[in-house]
Amino acid sequence: MTEKGKPLVEVRNLVKHFPITSGIIRQKKIGAVKAVDDISFDVISGETLGIVGETGCGKSTTARLIVRLLEATSGEVRFEGEDITKKKGAELKALRRDMQMIFQDPYSSLNPRKTIGSIIAEPYAIHGLEKGEGARKKRVQELMDTVGLNPEHYNRYPHEFSGGQRQRIGVARALALAPKLLVADEPVSALDVSIQAQVLNMLRRLQADLGLTVIFIAHDLSVVRHMCDRVAVMYIGKIVELAPGESLYGFPRHPYTGALLSAVPVPDPVGGHRKRELLTGDVPSPANPPSGCRFHTRCPKAQQLCSDQEPPLVDKDGGTVAACHFPLTREEADSRLPALLTAANAPAVDAPAGAA
């Protein structure tokens, strides 16, 4: 694996606009959905970086841009120091070995006509590795064992497996080529609660055992806190806050992060009590985002400056970067969070599982 502490992925001014067209025969471009709009961040080797946000904030698009399933409109994605947005052909194919993806829906992401043995062996077939029937089968069965599947089920079909087991098949396939980067896009949101924990524990174990670098995308803030070393919060195509997990959950600086955390239902009727801060209205359309700070239309702290000028993503102490003119104070953050949360996150007692 690459050296720890160094960035494996550097994203610089990444932009993805999807054109909106009108007309049937001659399609005219009449606008653009600004799915990802000028974001920059690093993914440190060996860490798990979480990306959270609500529907349509651009978190999945960001993931797909990084693994080149989508072409960026502009900007750079550097992987081990090299810009990969322009790579083509054999170069791109070689790159694909180093970055793999796990998808949300374990039902539609596995070919129903193939045995799981051949699904997991597919990466070897594509890249011409592990030639020879015996060697390939042995390797696939090792992978199945790694993700907690019975290797004897090599010749079974996806429909014979439950949702949680299918997600394990997807993980085994992603690990086949020993990638440096694993991108997991909502890997547990389609699973029942009791099954979720099985998959989350497995992912955490694999991440630790194999020293993987993981980008973990989810809308569930509790899951992200459990899985990630650092967390980026996105809102309408922008990163509004990026911080180590303990800081983000203990002392959110961006009012949007504060509102998100305040909104999470807490399974504790006593310790979960708080003044729930409700955002008004809905998320504005990314085709026509608000001026200035994109959150100003729903922000309880918004002032004139917020609609005039876009706040830069800058350091707000404690390793937190946030894009806000008027970040939350300690008191404001505390009043938004359930008491048990501030108590659990305030002193940085959590084991630092990676780079900060």
* Shortest Å distance, C-beta 186 to another protein: 13
CA-wise closest residue to 185 among 68, 294, 51, 10: 51
SS3 category, 18: strand
CA-wise closest residue to 210 among 351, 350, 100, 51: 100
Residue 168 binding another protein, by CB under 8 A:
yes
**For the window 240-269, what string marks contact with another protein as x by the rule CB under 8 A?**
-----x---x---------xxxxxxxxxxx
* Shortest Å distance, C-beta 54 to another protein: 4
* Stretch near another protein under the rule CB under 8 A, chosen from 26-34, 110-118, 323-331, 343-351: 343-351
Q: What is the DSSP letter of 325?
A: S
* Shortest Å distance, C-beta 271 to another protein: 7
Residue 354 binding another protein, by CB under 8 A:
no
CA-wise closest residue to 32 among 19, 15, 14: 19
Which one, 128 or 267, has the nearer CB to another protein? 267
The structure tokens listed for 303 are 């002032």
Cβ neighbours, 10 Å, residue 315: 9
Residues 121-160 that bind another protein (CB under 8 A): 148-150, 153, 160
Question: How many Å apart are CA 272 and CA 266, to the nearest integer?
Answer: 5
Residue 209 binding another protein, by CB under 8 A:
no
Pairing between strand 213-217 and 238-244?
Answer: unpaired
Question: How many Å apart are CA 136 and CA 62, to the nearest integer?
Answer: 33
Phi, psi for 315 (deg, rounded to 5): -65, 130
Which one, 129 or 200, has the nearer CB to another protein? 200
Residue 55 binding another protein, by CB under 8 A:
yes
The footprint of another protein (CB under 8 A) covers 54-55, 148-150, 153, 160-162, 164-165, 168, 192-198, 200-201, 204, 219, 221-223, 225-227, 245, 249, 259-272, 276, 278-279, 281-283, 338, 340-341, 343-345, 349-351, 353
